[in-house]
Chain A
Amino acid sequence: MADLVKLTIDGKALEVEPGTLVIDAAKRVGIEVPAFCYWEGLSLQAACRMCLVEVEKAPKLMTACTLPAAEGMVVRTETPQVAQARKSTLEFLLTNHPLDCPVCDAGGECELQDMVFRYGAGESRFQETKYHVEEKQWSPVVFFDRPRCILCFRCVRICDEGLGVRALGIVNRGVTSEIAPNRGDHLECDECGACIDICPVGALNSGIYRYRTRPWEMDHAGTICTHCSNGCKTTLGVRGGTRIIRGNNRDRSGINGEFLCIKGRYAYDFYNHPERLQSPLMRRNGKLEPVSWADALSAVARRFSETKERGGKFAVIGSNHTTNEENYYLQKFARQVLGTGNIDHHRTGDAAALREALQGAPGSLATVSDLYGRKAVLVIGAHLALEQPLLAFTLRANYRHHQARVYVVTEGPVREDKIAAVSVRAERGRELEALESLREPLRGEPELVILFSDAIQGEAVGKLVSFGRSLGIPVQYVCLLDYSNSRGAVDMGLVPGAGGLELDEMKAAQDIDVFWVVGANPFESGRPAAKDAFLVVQDLLPTETVQLADVVLPAASRYEKAGTVTSVTGEVQGFRAAVQVMGAKPDLEIIGLIGKQMGVAAGMGPWSPEAVFEEIRKTVPGYDLPPAVIAAGGAAQAVWSDGAAGGRRRTGTVRSDRNGLFASGTLGRYSKILHSVLESRLDGRS
């Protein structure tokens, strides 16, 4: 490694790696140089001139955002000359700015406002009429108010470089310059809202948030997105403890940094869908009718106890959205109290097969940061940008920053082709054969991360791992899954024990006496074969399965409870409740109350998320993770240890829902924003 470079910034001496920009070096010693166009991780623009600093022996002020630190450099970031320059820059930026801060969504968290406040550019010498352009709506998500735009190009770059979408451009010149959407008068894009969040002012704003609040009136709660398996931290802005106003992750905490896709940023809106279940229901004379919690719980407890006593047959179907604590508690309850091994959930990738294939090779599961840091990545059978948005974003950053070599084996064209060293097209089911053509180039790589979808399942997983071993280089794996706690469901044991029935077998069995469905919609396309079985369902919304139920217990959503989940890359992250919805209870509490009603609570232990997590740490292999890290909003990877993998499929029906960006299984059907985006696509404007 090259020698460090020594420099002084505002009298503070420091050493940095060669090539470090002065603006970043300053940050390390706690000095923030104002910047509108600079954005860590994106290409340099040097368009705004806010970051000007004085450098000794340099004839003019320099832009700290493009200036690499040099040996012996002496930098001053706040001299009268610098302040004057920034003040003048602001005066120019305000030439045509409408100064409509009182009604601007960004008011109170606007970087332009902050800078004008700091440098006191309170007067303008410009007397001319301001150039004005009307506000435009580009999509259900994105609105653009040109007069507020300061042409920093952050939005253009995040969309192009970050998302790989390139939906935004810039047209015209000088004062008439304007950000332009990819379809002339509207946008067709990922609708991720990254451009809106990155905008330093209120020029880009969101259809979901605009005119809903002043920013300082919100409380903020860190939670984990409840949609796909990628595990993005989402900070929800909440009012009055009951209304979610927005989602973002501006503090860059969590494994996703600033990234969120449309689902994490906006699709929390199912929580107050008009059809949300807020009272327990029981079937009376063929109809579901509201009842009290006490009545519902005792009906369930009675049926559970009675069925158990007479040796009846249970089938327990868990969720790939519920928390680790809930999953753990549910399977423990099923095994210990109900005495059944018929436990499963909808599996969307063959994580169990990978776990078995990797026996004896711990450490070979990749984390999100491996996707950013490793030299080569192979994607098999998935359109990453649409199905695994954070992983795709991270891989793109790896390519941009480290020129990672990307290999793609998919059925059709994917967005990753653009960054791929080699893309191979392979029919569904023939991916492993196609892989042979990559053997030689892959052998030449120093290391590799392999991501594979449900295209590789069952025995194929073992073959893939043998292929990996035969390359003679370190290989890490990610088994791609669909939903936010799919990995946790497998790890917590929501899989059949020896002799237990799998999901499809449960649905087909004629002799089930009691179905207990927690946060899943297994009967979406039809009743179970056991028509007379007693069906207990815990869920948020009146799904097809709920319609068939005998007792419905209204459950709290992810955003209304605390706990932990495990992402597709094995990172365990915690979250706390953001809002409360009247009538609904967390699944953990519901299970606990059923146990209490049955008189078995003592044997099950307390049902607080913290207590259950402690038990998970002690009993679930790989989960002995530091509670302090998780409580502080950090992530720790659960590494599979050797030992019984359990839950291998017999029926071979691991199936991904291939949701894409604007769907999210049953839950997605209740999101207004996902609907409105889909409708805007269908209304023929494309």
Chain B
Amino acid sequence: MLSAAEREEIEQVLKHYPVRDSVAIDALKIVQRHRGWISDETLKEVADFIGMTPADLDGVATFYNLLFRKPVGRHVIALCDSVSCWIMGYEGIREYLSSKLGVGYGQTTADGRFTLLPIVCLGACDRAPVLMVDGDTYGGLTPAGLDGILERYR
């Protein structure tokens, strides 16, 4: 069951749209904020609430990188692996992160603190290589600078 708060928030966004389907992305973001990720059950609840089929809504949910269909850690690190970041050496950053956290792409640290994911161009190529932790973007990355960034997220 969607909570009263979740329903309320979705209803608020709905006011901006003429058709219920349009709220799909926002609704998924809202429940993800409350629950951390979108389980099959959650997907069904949201679909019922906004009048879409689960299959349709899953099309939306699985399309966007920042909607999570599997459980994630408290913080999500999304490392850009697109062309500018590649040229500027994102691979070194990935190796450093992997060995420091002990996880590869798609995995969560044993303490549930971080999940590491790849992501497509973040539109910040001028600062490549770039990563994003939760909502914050960090550019001009160097292995040495990473420790300080991670420290901010407990």
Please give the residue numbers on chain A whose beta carbons come within 8 Å of chain B beta carbons, in ascending order: 166-173, 180-182, 184
Contacts and interface: CB of A to CB of B under 8 A. Distances in A.
Contacts of A181: 55
A166 B62 contact: no
Contacts of B57: 169
A166 B63 contact: no
A169 B59 contact: yes
B24 to A, nearest CB: 12
Contacts of A172: 62-63
A169 B63 contact: no
A164 to B, nearest CB: 11
B142 interface: no
22 contacts: A166-B53, A167-B53, A167-B55, A168-B55, A169-B53, A169-B54, A169-B55, A169-B56, A169-B57, A169-B58, A169-B59, A170-B59, A171-B55, A171-B58, A171-B59, A171-B61, A172-B62, A172-B63, A173-B62, A181-B55, A184-B40, A184-B54
Contact of A182 (B40, B54, B61, B62): B54
A241 B54 CA distance: 45
B70 to A, nearest CB: 13
B59 A180 contact: yes
A166 B40 contact: no
A168 B53 CA distance: 9
The number of chain B residues touching the other chain, given as a range, is 10 to 19
A171 B53 contact: no
A181 B61 CA distance: 15
A170 B61 CA distance: 10
Nearest to B53: A166
Contacts of A184: 40, 54
Given A169-B54, A171-B55, 10 more contacts: A166-B53, A166-B56, A169-B53, A169-B58, A171-B58, A171-B59, A172-B62, A180-B59, A181-B55, A182-B55
Contacts of B54: 169, 182, 184
Contacts of A168: 55
5 closest cross-chain pairs (CB), A and B: A169-B55, A171-B62, A169-B59, A182-B55, A166-B53
Contacts of B61: 171
Contacts of B40: 184
Interface of B is mostly: helix
A410 to B, nearest CB: 20
Nearest to A166: B53
A167 B59 CA distance: 12
Nearest to A168: B55
A169 B21 CA distance: 14
A208 B116 CA distance: 45
Nearest to A418: B51
A45 to B, nearest CB: 14
A173 B63 contact: yes
Interface-central residue, A168, A171, A173, A184, by most chain B CB under 10 Å:
A171
A170 B57 CA distance: 9
B63 A180 contact: no
Nearest to A187: B55
A128 to B, nearest CB: 17
Interface in B31-63: 40, 53-59, 61-63
A181 B58 CA distance: 10
Contacts of B59: 169-171, 180
B46 to A, nearest CB: 14
B53 A182 contact: yes
A136 to B, nearest CB: 14
B92 to A, nearest CB: 25
B137 to A, nearest CB: 22
A166 B62 CA distance: 18
Nearest to B52: A166
Interface-central residue, A167, A169, A172, A181, by most chain B CB under 10 Å:
A169
A173 B57 CA distance: 14
B83 to A, nearest CB: 15
Contacts of B53: 166-167, 169, 182
A170 B54 CA distance: 11
Interface in B4-44: 40
A172 to B, nearest CB: 5
A75 B63 CA distance: 36
Nearest to B44: A184
A172 B57 CA distance: 11
Contacts of A166: 53, 55-56
Nearest to B55: A169
A181 B62 CA distance: 14
Contacts of A180: 55, 58-59
A134 to B, nearest CB: 18
A372 to B, nearest CB: 25
A28 to B, nearest CB: 34
B123 to A, nearest CB: 18
Nearest to A179: B55
A166 B63 CA distance: 19
A184 B62 CA distance: 13
A165 to B, nearest CB: 9
Contacts of B58: 169, 171, 180
A180 B40 CA distance: 14
